[in-house]
Structure 1
Amino acid sequence: MTSNAPRPEAPRIAVFAKAPRAGAVKTRLVPLLGAQGAASLHAALVRHALSTATRAQPDSLQLWCAPDTADPFFSECAARFSCELRMQRGHDLGARMAHAFAAQAPLLLIGTDCPPLRASHLSHAWRLLVSHDVAIAPAEDGGYVMIGLARPAPALFERIEWGTDTVLAETRRRIAAAGLKSIELETLWDVDRPEDYRRLQQTGLAREVEA
């Protein structure tokens, strides 16, 4: 249930992350980096996303964990970034996202694949939720890297083909059908494929991610 408490001035941020287990994360980068290398990159990206969220000086920071909160990596993150650990719940990504928003909206939700996402993006999106129902940061691959909701809107997450280039377009249709007022932020890129990893190296963001 959502709270009737006053909306905090600082953002509430949820970071969705999988445990960095070799062979289970960043699988499209395994041919380039190996299973352990891909898992290490994933762990670095999770830490970078949490660092970015921390710099937005959030009212609350939650790390939503998959498959559960038991992995020692998550405990390390909680200690380092002062975030609350929660377990993702639902049969697919959409159900898990809807559950997070039902637990506490207004809320900004991000993944861990987008090093270009800055604290300024998060702070700006939070301010926009004063006058908009939805704030979304598109991804170049047809998805999105951040979504913020002023209140729960489960229809935005149902029957979506996650991981495809249709996610953003379908989400836009759902927003329109629900009569929600939305705004889109800057389009950013994420790290999923070998060409994304090379871009990460070329832009210099790799040093920031690995710090």
Structure 2
Amino acid sequence: MSTGPELVLFARYPVAGQCKTRLIPALGPEGAAAVHRHLAERTVGVLRQAGCPVTIAYTGASEAAFRDWLGPDFAYAQQAEGDLTARLLPFAARAPVVFFGADTPDLAPAHVAAAVEALANHRVAIGPAEDGGYYLIAMRDPLPELLTDMPWSTAEVLPETLRRLEAMAIAPALLATLADCDRPEDLARWPDLAA
């Protein structure tokens, strides 16, 4: 039986031209979609090993299409319409929860385990990303303040999150820093992704 916080993976269906759009100049629409498909499948494999309930927060195709793609052994929930805040808040209300995107090639089971373990002693755990954002955020209870009016997709996400936590007198657990694969220059780090 799975126990622990809900692991929520935000995933877009890998349709050419609709995902990983910042990689299109380097790889073309099909290549960028193929990278997204590979990263999402890899992330699902990592989360599957965690022993916690996993929910795929999906967009871009039907639940049936996602089940065919990623497997029937997960919970599936459609993302809300709107910006990232609007899509995150319904899941934050279900805390304890750990949010993941599908763009961190080096994410490993140890990183997931560290986030889950951190929630035993911290209300919030964050996996910082090299670009100034984060590759995961874990919350023991709903904290919509950390997700509202956030400058998403900028280098200010992590600093702003830490400022808000300090103002709330919450000391987060900071996990290992990893890199996301978002831009053409990121591909040099993972040449197998572009192959």
Alpha carbons 2:41, 2:70 under 8 Å: kept? no
Q: How far has the Cα of 1:121 moved from its partner?
A: 0.9
Aligned to 1:30: 24
Structure 1 position 112 matched with structure 2 position 106: no
- CA distance in 1 between counterparts of 2:40 and 2:126 reads 20
What is the number of equivalent residue pairs in this alignment? 194
SS of equivalent residue, structure 2 residue 10: strand
Q: By how many angstroms is 1:94 displaced? A: 1.8
Q: Deviations over 1:97-129 (max 9, x none)?
A: 121111x21111100000111111111111110
Q: Is the 8 A contact 1:68 1:88 kept in 2?
A: no
2:157 counterpart residue number = 167
Assess if the C-alpha contact under 8 Å between 1:69 and 1:86 holds in 2.
no
Aligned to 2:126: 136
Q: Does 1:182 align with 2:172?
A: yes
Over the aligned positions, Cα root-mean-square deviation in angstroms equals 1.9
Question: What is the TM-score normalised by the length of structure 1?
Answer: 0.85
Greater mean alpha carbon deviation, residues 142-151 or residues 24-33: 24-33
Partner of 1:123: 113
1:65 to 44, 58, 71: 58
User: Structure 2 vs 1, CA of residues 71 and 34 (structure 1 numbering), >3 Å: closer, same or farther?
Assistant: farther
Q: Which residue of 2 aligns with 1:43?
A: 37
SS at match of 1:65: strand
- Do 1:107 and 1:150's aligned partners in 2 also have CA atoms closer than 8 Å? yes
Change (3 A) 1:68 1:171: farther
Q: Deviation of residue 91 (structure 1)? A: 2.2
Alpha-carbon distance between aligned partners in 2 of 1:106 and 1:39, rounded to the nearest angstrom: 31
TM-score, structure 2 length as denominator?
A: 0.92
Deviation of 1:78 (Å): 4.4
- Equivalent pair of 1:11/1:57 in contact (CA under 8 Å): no
> Contact 1:45–1:113 at 8 Å: present in 2 too?
yes
Instruction: For 1:179 and 1:142, locate their aligned partners in 2 and report how far apart those are by CA, in whole Å.
Output: 22
In the superposition, relative to structure 1, how do residues 52 and 133 fare at CA in structure 2: closer, same or farther (>3 Å)?
A: same
Structure 2: distance between partners of 1:33 and 1:78 = 23
Alignment correspondent of 1:89 = 80
Say if 2:46 is the partner of 1:56: no
Q: Which amino acid aligns with 2:57?
A: W
Task: Report the equivalent of 2:67.
Answer: 75
Distance across 2 between alignment mates of 1:156 and 1:23: 30
Q: Report the CA distance between 1:163 and its aligned residue.
A: 0.6
Unaligned runs of 5+ in 1: 1-7
Tell me which moved more, 173-182 or 41-50: 173-182
Which position in structure 1 is the counterpart of 2:136? 146
Q: 2:184 and 2:161 mapped to 1: Cα distance?
A: 27
Per-residue deviation, 1:10? 3.9
